[in-house]
Structure 1
Amino acid sequence: MRARRAFGCLILLLAVLAACGGGERGRPLRLATTTSLQDSGLLGVLVPIFTGEHDRTVEVSAVGSGRAIELLRTGQADVAITHSPVEEAAALAGGRIAARTPVMRNAYVLVGPVEFAGIVSGAGDVREALRAAAGSGRRFVSRDDGSGTHQRELQLWAAAGVPRDSAFSLPFHGGMAEALELAARERAFTLSDRATFLTRGRELGLAILFQGGDDLDNVYAALEPAPELGTDVVGARAFVEFLRSPTGRRLIGGFGVETVGEPLFTPVD
C-alpha cells in the first residue's frame, strides 16, 4: 500500500513538473523593449525570424527603458532590450538582473523643423547645440518618462549647464514616434534616436539639426532576469543568443538599407 501511494505521489509530482514546463513553453516569451525598436520597425523583422527558428511566439511590451527594466525586475517580463547604460549597470550590480549583453548601437540626433538649422549651425558639440536651442526661445519636447532617451537628454542638459526644468521644456509621456509627431506640431526641438527619426520623422517635416560625437552614442543591451524570479530564463537566453547569432547580426546590420538607404543599427562585437 505504501509503495502504491509513493508511486502515485511520484506520478503526481511528474505531472505537476510537466505542466509547469509545458506552461512556460506554451506561453509567449514576454519581451519588454524600448519604443525605438518598435517604432523603427526592427522588431517586426527580428521577432518573426526568432519565432520561426524556435517555434516560440513573442509578446512585446514597447515601453521606456526604465519601465522595461522594472518589468524584468518584477517578473512581468522574461527578457528586455534597453538603452539606458546607467540604469542597466545599477540593476546588474544590485542583483536585480542576471546578465547584460550589448547587442547593437546607433546614435542620438537633435532634430527640429528645418528652418531651425541656423540656430545650432555653429555648434562644435551637442552641448553647444543644446545651449543654442535653449536660448532661441523655441520649445523642446522632452520625453519625461524615464526612458533611455529621456535619461540621455537629462545627462546632456546637465553637461550643457541648462536647468532641466527650464521654461522652454515641453514635457511629454509617450514613445519616440509620438514625441516626433508632437515636435512637428509644436514646431519644437527634440532628441531622437537616428533609426526612429529616419523611419518616422522626415515625413513630418523635421530635419537632423545636429549629430555626431561620443555623447550621442546609443547602445542597446539585452537584459536577462534573475533566476529567482521564476521567469523564462531559458527563453531569455535563447532570445539573446539569437540576437548575437550570425542570423540576428545580419538582420540588425541590414535593417534600413532597403527602406531608407542606410543601416539603422550596427551589431556590436
Structure 2
Amino acid sequence: MWTRRAVARLVLPLGAWLACGGRERARPLRLAATSSVHDSGLLAVLGPAFSAAHGRPLEVLAVGSRRAIDLLATGRADVALTHSPVEEAQALASGRIGGRTPVMRNAYVLVGPVEYAGIVAGAADMRGALRAVAGSGRRFVSRGDDSGTYQRELQLWAAAGIPGESAFILPFQGSMAEALRQAAREHAFTLSDRATFLARRGDLGLAILFQGGSDLDNVHAVLEPAPERGGDIEGARAFAEFLRSPAGRRLIGGFGVDTLGEPLFTPVQ
C-alpha cells in the first residue's frame, strides 16, 4: 500500500479528460520514481503532460532507486524511473524486471559551504576531491539509504580508497532535498545530483565545489515489469515512449531554462 507522504497524485487535467469524451478516467499508472526527479520538480511537469497525452493520471511514490526497483518487481508499482545502472542491470539479468529504457541524464556534483572551496580546489578528479574532503577534518553528509545517489557515493569512496563507514561521514536517511538541508545544518559536504541542488539551493549557503568527469554521469532509465510477474507492461512502455518522444524530450531538455537559466536534464540520444 502506498501510504508515504511522498505519494503525489498527478491528475489528468479537466480539458484533457473532456477531450477523451468525458469517459470514466483510467486507473492511475503507479510510478515509483527516484526522489531526485521529484525533488527537482521535473515530475510536476512530466506527469500532467503524460496524463494529457494518454488520458491516464500518474500516481507517484518518490523513493530511492533500490526501493523503486523492489516496488516494480513485486507488483506494487506499474513502472519505475531510477538512476542506479548497476542495480538496474542486476534486476534485468535476474528477471525481476522486464526492460530498461534510458531516457535522460544529468550529473552528480560535490557541494558544500562556499568557504570550503579551497579544500578541493586542486583536485584533478572526483577521487582527489574526496581524498581532500577526507583529509580536511570536515564532515560529509551521506544519504545512507537505498538511493541511486548513495550507491554512486559508495562507488566513489571505494575508488578514492576511503572506507564508506569513516567517522567523518554522517549517515542520513532522507530524500536528496532533505540531505541538502542536513548538509547546510551540519556545515558539511554532500553528493547531490545537479538538478536537485540547483532547484533547491535557495538560502542553503552551499555551492558546487567540484564537478565534471565520467564517473559523475547520472543516467535515468524507465523500468518495466517482467512479463511473467504480471503488471502493466503497456502502461510502462507508454510512459517510456512518451519520455523518448519529441514532446517528452522537449520538456526534459527545457526544464530549468526559464527559472534557472540552464537545463537541469538532458534527454538521451
Query: Aligned partner of 2:224: which letter?
Result: E
Cα deviation, residue 135, structure 1? 1.0
RMSD: 0.9
1:59 maps to: 59
Alignment-derived partner of residue 137 in structure 2: 137
SS in 2 for 1:146: coil
Give secondary structure in 2 for the equivalent of 1:162.
Answer: coil
Number of equivalences: 245
Q: What is the match of residue 221 of structure 2?
A: 221
Distance 2:265 2:26 in 1: 32
User: In the TM superposition, what is the alpha-carbon distance from 1:29 to its structure 2 partner?
Assistant: 0.3
The one-letter code matched in structure 1 to 2:151 is Q
Listed as ranges, the gaps of 5+ residues in structure 2 are 1-24
TM superposition shift of 1:47? 0.3
Distance in 1, Cα, partners of 2:84 & 2:203: 27
Q: Report the alpha carbon displacement of residue 230 of structure 1 after superposing the two structures with TM.
A: 2.2
Distance in 1, matches of 2:159 and 2:26, equals 48
**2:206 corresponds to:** 206
Farther-moved stretch of structure 1 (26-35 vs 177-186): 26-35
Counterpart CA distance in 2 for 1:202 and 1:96 is 39
CA displacement at 1:203 relative to structure 2 = 2.8
The within-5 A match list for 1:116-127 is 116-127=116-127
Pairs within 5 Å for 1:2-41 = 26-41=26-41
Give the counterpart letter for 1:49 in structure 2.
A
1:15 is matched with none
The match for 2:43 is: 43
TM-score by length of 1: 0.90
- The residue matched to 2:38 in structure 1 has which SS? helix
Matching of residues 170-249 of structure 1 within 5 Å: 170-249=170-249
Q: Structure 1 vs Structure 2: percent identity of aligned residues?
A: 76
Report the Cα distance in structure 2 between the residues aligned to 1:201 and 1:225, rounded to whole angstroms: 35
Q: Which residue of 2 aligns with 1:95?
A: 95
TM-superposed CA distance for 1:202, in Å, is 4.4
C-alpha distance 202-130 of structure 1, shift in aligned 2 (>3 A)? farther
1:166-212, Cα deviation, whole Å (9 max, x unpaired): 00010011100000000000000000000000010243110000000
- 2:222 partner letter: A
Q: What secondary structure, in the 3-state scheme, does the structure 1 residue paired with 2:262 have?
A: coil
1:74 aligns to what?
74
Q: Give 1 or 2: higher helix fraction.
A: 1
1:169 lines up with 2:173 in the alignment: no
Q: How many angstroms apart in 2 are the aligned matches of 1:139 and 1:167?
A: 9
- CA distance in 2 between counterparts of 1:115 and 1:185 reads 15
Determine helix, strand or coil for the equivalent of 2:201: helix
After TM superposition, give the deviation of residue 255 of structure 1 in Å: 0.3
Counterpart amino acid of residue 257 in structure 1: V
TM superposition shift of 1:234: 1.1
- Tell me which residue corresponds to 1:3: none
**Shift of residue 27, structure 1, vs aligned partner:** 1.9
Cα deviation for residue 26 of structure 1 reads: 3.3
Where 1:157 maps in the other structure, the secondary structure is helix
Alpha-carbon distance in 2 for matches of 1:214, 1:235: 33
Q: Is the 8 A contact 2:26 2:55 kept in 1?
A: no
State the AA in 1 paired with 2:36. Answer: S
Q: Which runs of 4+ in 1 moved over 6 A?
A: none
In structure 2, the partner of 1:14 is none
